[in-house]
Chains A and B, each alone.
Chain A
């Protein structure tokens, strides 16, 4: 079964070509998979394993290490409310309670219409702007209950700039091919960094 769309498969091959070892492309490809589907499916991981020449288990190991790769379907908009110290002192608990009531779901779940996933999160490095939250990893500062309602309203309409979950950027970056490192033939490696060396830790 094929996971990547034809267009994304071409892109995947381009991404793999940038690196000396295909396996290095694993995380960029996980992003690509998440962009395509909104989350990382098992099929996506299996296909990435095949593309970079490793086992699905290894892709799962990498993918599951990163909180921001979702391995279950999430809403179009993932709202992360910071629950760490500064925000907690500035009312993040109340904000979370309000958000749960407003969206009608507990923290950690997704609304029935598939629009929102509500999550608590660790520090988002905006302590001076507490309480803060992120919508698909875009910051909102000093959020009040009213502002939260307005935000939900806005996201429900089409008049906003937040892309769907999984989209990394609205502008696709293309690296010119002459800047690819690509596969280095073993005999050309004279001063190999350890990660290129066959006898290095990365076999």
Chain B
């Protein structure tokens, strides 16, 4: 061993000296130096395999120049490289001629034509003609390898990018090279499709047109596309994407590689749900319920709809209004609604979360961690939902950190999750008792306890199940704060801009800038006329008050409590009891269908603004297309309503709103409009830590289950009944109908064969469901996905209970 490895080596490329990191591959060093070497198989986020040989260059390490694949040769001090030598050019011509031996020249009908690395590099480095006159290889033209991806094996050049991605990055090795020699082809196992949540990435990284995405096939030619860089708001991860449109219609999203967030990857849900925005089912005109004739929702003009909404809000009075939702909104829209509720209506009954996440004070008050912190930590402790289902790209990042980095992932939860394959330890606890399990672990002599105490720890904290209240998660936070004071937290909240909504004060008791309502800044007091003194109600309390007749007007700000609130019965009762429901949305969801006044809002891709991801990173979303019909931005609706209520928000544009946010929100000070809109900060700007003090309650024991019942565990799936999925034709059928999973012994005890219909009884409902035996489920528990089409778990859940039990019976 040498005493000290050099921190940098010098390589001469085409006569110029460049600096390189020891150990890195030559192609990575030349890329950084801006010297382009053609390639097909090399991808900077995956391991090098040297499959395609396109990156052959002349390398001289003292023994004379010889051709070496630059993706497989680590740099060495004094290396002399020529990427433009005659030998290199002959090699490039030879490789391209060879790759084109079997590649059909069907570029005019190929989706990749115009943005195809093979096409481009053939023009730049190819021989111009081929000596191959024989018949090319033939395969059946595109075969679907999953519902979303088609494979044309004739076009494939066997670069191993898709198969490597599936194995290395996604961890779903469902596509493989099969056969060998001239018959080598990428295939799935018969009847086992490439049903990975990340399959769309293979289409993006395919260097030819072999893999094409079903939603984009034959939709547009690349030279017809207009693109803009934006941020995905499907979940709260905030992946950077390129939004591409053609003739005022969104046709494709591509992942943009940013180091801090998504590394260029996207989940299929985020990648393909643009179809919903183009949907014909979008709301385009305001609707008002006809008071006489059959009480239908009828189209009307904005003036009458806004007047009716303002009248309903005005008549109800500050305490009689409740505003639920706001995670769909951009930060600017959320700020306008926050100001509108406090300053004009005078109510603090506003909550962006549907009591399906964590209390705002927890999210804002726990010591924060970034995604990068998690991927560099010694230990990541996951106590929360199945990240693969809820925050798929966070799952991908953690998987990468665990399999290719040194991070150890430890998870504590009641069910099997997608993280188990890369977790160092997967500790099963009783539902709702993660805090107890964690306390026991930390007081034991287990080496894991030492690992948690000694090393850096990032906790990913969330609700493990929608059938339990936030209390178990709060208890976990309390244990970690007490026992592992060095641990930092990342909140596993799922909704698009939920973090931004909380930052803007869409939570009872909080004002913009992560400050409590009793502690407003001077700057805020200058801009806001009046602020309620008392903390208002959260979603559950609002719905309870509505059901009790104390709230007259309910405003649904892109919220669908009938589907997304854990307790459907309470939501239904509330919506039925209140005098007026005002819904501001993109679609007629089940809750919107019950509303009295419906105001159509612009959707993603139709509005500018900023969004904040789970780690508090503010990045821009950009308008790409013109909104349909007469839809309006949410902030405009707020200002219009404010004016009709006799107030004035004093906001006339999104830029102006951001300037006001920057002034009044202490956490956002210094994040000026210029910084937010500059291209240099395209990765986003991390918002400063908050300074709210947080007192955590002493952990309470979860009630014990009775011997006859099964403890209900309900998590979300990536493919579920979510509005955007349900309105995307390519995605909607991917959501499976709900099945109740129970341990085989529990089913046997009741004499129920697996796959049969059972009666499910909870304190809230009695309904029939299919029960399936699954030995991965703990005894005494039952797992039912939360929001699958055809009925979710919310029918059975009592939102006021810490934890919910069900009983099952034979029919």
Contact = CB atoms under 8 A, between A and B. Distances in A.
A46 B405 CA distance: 31
Interface in A48-67: 54-61, 64-65, 67
Interface in A99-148: none
Contacts of A58: 173, 176
B146 to A, nearest CB: 12
A7 interface: no
A33 to B, nearest CB: 15
Interface residues of A, number: 18
A61 B192 CA distance: 13
A57 B192 contact: yes
B636 interface: no
Contact of A203 (B180, B189, B404): B404
A94 interface: no
A203 B164 CA distance: 12
Contacts of B172: 55
A95 interface: no
Contacts of A65: 177-180
Contacts, number: 48
Contacts of A198: 403
B533 interface: no
B189 A55 contact: yes
A199 interface: yes
A64 B403 contact: no
Nearest to B406: A199
B178 A61 contact: yes
A190 interface: no
Nearest to B189: A56
A55 B192 CA distance: 9
B757 interface: no
B190 A61 contact: no
Interface string B163-193: 0000010001111111110000001111010
Contacts of A57: 173-176, 187-189, 192
B177 A61 contact: yes
Contacts of B403: 198-199, 203
A174 B198 CA distance: 43
B153 to A, nearest CB: 14
A200 to B, nearest CB: 10
B178 A60 contact: yes
B179 A64 contact: yes
Nearest to B405: A199
A73 to B, nearest CB: 16
A42 B189 CA distance: 8
B178 A45 contact: no
Contacts of A56: 189, 192
A58 B178 CA distance: 9
A158 interface: no
Contact of B173 (A45, A55, A199, A201): A55
Contacts of B180: 64-65, 67
B187 A55 contact: no
Summarize B's interface: helix, strand, loop or mixed: mixed
Contacts of B175: 57
B47 interface: yes
A89 to B, nearest CB: 24
A58 B172 CA distance: 10
Contacts of A54: 173
Contacts of B188: 57
Chain B interface residue count: which class? 20 to 34
Nearest to A61: B176
Contact of B174 (A55, A201, A203): A55
A64 B405 CA distance: 32
B700 to A, nearest CB: 37
A194 to B, nearest CB: 13
A49 B47 CA distance: 24
Contacts of A46: 189, 192
Contacts of B406: 199
Given A45-B189, A60-B189, A203 B168 contact: yes
Most buried by B among A46, A57, A64, A65: A57
Nearest to A56: B189
B163 to A, nearest CB: 8
Most buried by A among B179, B187, B189, B190: B189
Contacts of A64: 178-180
Contacts of B176: 57-58, 60-61
A203 B171 CA distance: 10
A26 to B, nearest CB: 12
Most buried by A among B172, B187, B192: B192
Contacts of B168: 203
A150 B585 CA distance: 84
Interface in A148-193: none
A201 B47 contact: yes
A65 B176 CA distance: 11
Contacts of A59: 189
A67 B187 CA distance: 17
Nearest to B194: A57
Most buried by A among B179, B404, B406: B179
Nearest to B172: A55
A163 B405 CA distance: 50
B211 to A, nearest CB: 15
A203 B178 CA distance: 20
Interface in A31-90: 42, 45-46, 54-61, 64-65, 67
Nearest to B193: A57
A52 to B, nearest CB: 12
Most buried by A among B174, B176, B177, B192: B176
A57 B179 CA distance: 12
A57 to B, nearest CB: 4
Contact of B190 (A42, A55, A201): A42
Most buried by B among A54, A61, A201: A61
A57 B174 CA distance: 5
A147 to B, nearest CB: 31
A33 B718 CA distance: 37
A67 B192 CA distance: 23
A67 B183 CA distance: 12
Interface string B741-769: 00000000000000000000000000000
Nearest to B403: A203
A55 B166 CA distance: 11
A199 B404 CA distance: 6
Interface in B173-232: 173-180, 187-190, 192
A199 B403 CA distance: 6
A154 B403 CA distance: 56
A60 B174 contact: no
A58 B190 CA distance: 12
B378 to A, nearest CB: 15
Interface in B380-417: 403-406
Nearest to A42: B190
A186 B145 CA distance: 36
A57 B189 CA distance: 5
A195 to B, nearest CB: 14
Contacts of B177: 61, 65
A56 B190 CA distance: 9
Nearest to A64: B178
Nearest to A46: B189
A199 B176 CA distance: 22
A18 B179 CA distance: 28
10 contacts: A54-B173, A55-B173, A56-B192, A57-B175, A61-B176, A64-B178, A65-B177, A65-B178, A65-B179, A67-B180
The 4 closest A-B pairs by CB, nearest first: A61-B176, A56-B189, A64-B178, A57-B189
Given A54-B173, A57-B176, 18 more contacts: A42-B190, A46-B192, A55-B173, A55-B192, A56-B192, A57-B174, A57-B187, A57-B188, A58-B176, A59-B189, A60-B178, A60-B187, A61-B178, A64-B178, A64-B180, A65-B178, A65-B179, A203-B168
Interface of A: 42, 45-46, 54-61, 64-65, 67, 198-199, 201, 203
Interface of B: 47, 168, 172-180, 187-190, 192, 403-406
